[in-house]
Amino acid sequence: MKSDDPHLLGTKLKVVIRTDSSVSIGYGHVMRCLSIAEELRILGAEVCFICKDLKGNLIKDIKEKGYTVYSIAGTDREMEFNWQEDQKAVAEILEGMGEVDWIIIDHYRINQQWEKSIRPYVLKIMVIDDLADRLHDCDVILDQGYYSNNEERYRDLVPVHSLKLFGPGYALLREEFKQARNQLRKREGSLRRVMIMFGGTDPTQETEKALSALELLMDEEMKVDVVTGEANERKELIRERCKRWPNITFHCQVNYVADLMLKADLAIGAGGSSTWERCFLGLPALTILTADNQVAMCRELEKVNAIMNLGWYDQVSVEMIARKIKEFKQSPSQLAEISEQGLRLFHQNQKEHKEFDWVRRVFYEQG
């Protein structure tokens, strides 16, 4: 790299993040983008977000963390995505910013057509994906999933020159989880505290199903933490239900999820981005599939015994969950093994993950 490179001389990088959140989309895309935004801001970058104003979005939360958010009008039919309209709205915003160094895209509806058309407004494009189901025009592709064939999955989907960041070593974890990693305790398999968390919205109502299973097994020693998002339309019903039990605590839209994970002996949740948070902290989990993008990764993780996957939500009963919890209580070694396997996934990639060194390398040293 040239010694007179403007980035090395302290010029502030301008980074734009295009992502969405809503009742149907969930919180995962925004939460993992916030983790990159945190690291970039520490490195001195100027970071802003472009998001659609959809029902149950996290725009307010992003702003409360100190980021500027440019809002695009949206409707309740957010899945009816028109890429030309979206690109036009984003282009108008970018045009008013001057030179933009990077745009980071984390959106299942955005593909090569959108990305090619946004090229005149940005210097570099980074795509966060985990579906590997569409073409991309990007300089960097990041997929934090654990797959044995990631290179093959994207071989014909991204340009040959793209920098490919694959695997748990690039997991997008917020600062609270990195801090919590320093407080890890060795889990021996005892089961006294359970955490239920099915993302911010839980549209399939798995939280209540898990609660019902635990109610069948409840004793005085068992403690339960139930975590929901503000956009969960049944949160008040869940809150009232938790009040019936002195050893069940309800948490809504909290910023101490990592602390709850440290205390828990078992998590019950979906197979989305929280999977990496749990594995990173060695928290064993019963996962229930609630979206297509969770299937392949959960199957791979189950092969190496890093999770216990119960299958699709519509095929998982209250009794099935209760039976598996009872099995864990009777066989602590199963829980201990799952904990170790989750931690091992990150230990194998410790160099890449440590303090997000890869963010500096990608956005600055290769800038």
pLDDT digits (tens, 9 = 90+) for 119-157: 999 999 999 999 999 999 999 999 998 887 888 999 999
Residues 321 and 360 in one domain: no
Residues 68 and 163 in one domain: yes
Residues 160 and 190 in one domain: no
Residues 358 and 300 in one domain: no
The model's pLDDT over 213-266, given as tens digits with 9 standing for 90+, comes to 999 998 878 999 999 999 899 999 999 999 999 999 999 999 999 999 999 999
Q: What is the pLDDT of residue 219?
A: 84
Place of tokens 């009816």: 80
Q: Quick one: how many helices (H) and strands (E) in the chain?
A: 15, 13
> Would you say residue 244 lies in a domain?
yes
Residues 357 and 296 in one domain: no
Q: Is the pTM of this model over 0.75?
A: yes
Q: What is the pLDDT of residue 352?
A: 47
> Would you say residue 4 lies in a domain?
no
Residues 185 and 85 in one domain: no
Q: What is the pLDDT of residue 349?
A: 55
> Would you say residue 7 lies in a domain?
no
pLDDT above 90 for 298: yes
Residues 224 and 313 in one domain: yes
pLDDT above 90 for 347: no
The length of the chain is: 367
77 vs 45: CA distance, rounded Å: 34
pLDDT-derived band at 74, boundaries 50, 70, 90: confident
Residues 355 and 339 in one domain: no
pLDDT above 70 for 344: yes
> Would you say residue 250 lies in a domain?
yes
pLDDT above 60 for 78: no
Q: Which domain holds residue 99?
A: 14-167+350-365
Residues 329 and 281 in one domain: yes
Q: What is the CATH number of the domain that holds 307?
A: 3.40.50.2000
Residues 163 and 254 in one domain: no
Residue with the bigger pLDDT between 331 and 356: it is 331
- Number of Cα atoms under 13 Å in the Cβ half of residue 159: 14
Q: Stretch 82-93: mean pLDDT, rounded?
A: 96
Q: What is the CATH number of the domain that holds 49?
A: 3.40.50.11190
Tokens of 196: 């239920």
